Amino acid sequence: MSESFAYGASEDPDRNDYFAKLRIQSSQRMQRLLDRSVPFAFHRWLLWVFLALVYTLRAYFVHGYYIVTYGLGIYNLNLMIGFLSPARDPSLSASEGPTLPSSNNEEYRCVLFRREFVHALEEEKV
């Protein structure tokens, strides 16, 4: 009598362990690389611009990938809008109104940027 396995599961548990270990190791290597690249913000932006230029040229010369390029453009635009949007909606707290600093130690910030935009851009180029 044969055993039943879950959908997508391999009959060999050692094989699943191997791929799980490989996935974990590659994830750790990638995180280590990202952590080491944190001080080099200018170089990361240069790399992103270079990769975007290479992709654009490839899409232009191949005369294809227009739908993928359109999707990537909308995704980047969505990230940019999320980055430039205030963290809290000022129209919801209209009764309170904007608050100015009440002491010399405080700083007025009209827009609080969200870091998810930069992190998502870094993940996208990988």
Tens of pLDDT, residues 63-104: 888 898 899 889 989 988 888 887 776 666 555 555 666 667
CA-to-CA distance for 115 and 83, rounded, in angstroms? 7
Model-wide pTM > 0.75 = no
Cα 9 to chain centroid, rounded:
30
Average pLDDT in the chain: 77
Give residue 42's pLDDT band: very low, low, confident or very high (50, 70, 90): very high
Single-letter amino acid, residue 18: Y
CA-to-CA distance for 110 and 113, rounded, in angstroms? 10
- Give the pLDDT mean for 36-41: 92
- Cβ-based neighbours of 63, under 8 Å, separated by 6 or more: none
Give residue 1's pLDDT band: very low, low, confident or very high (50, 70, 90): very low
CA-to-CA distance for 69 and 89, rounded, in angstroms? 31
Give residue 116's pLDDT band: very low, low, confident or very high (50, 70, 90): low
Helix (H) or strand (E) segment spanning residue 34: helix 13-36
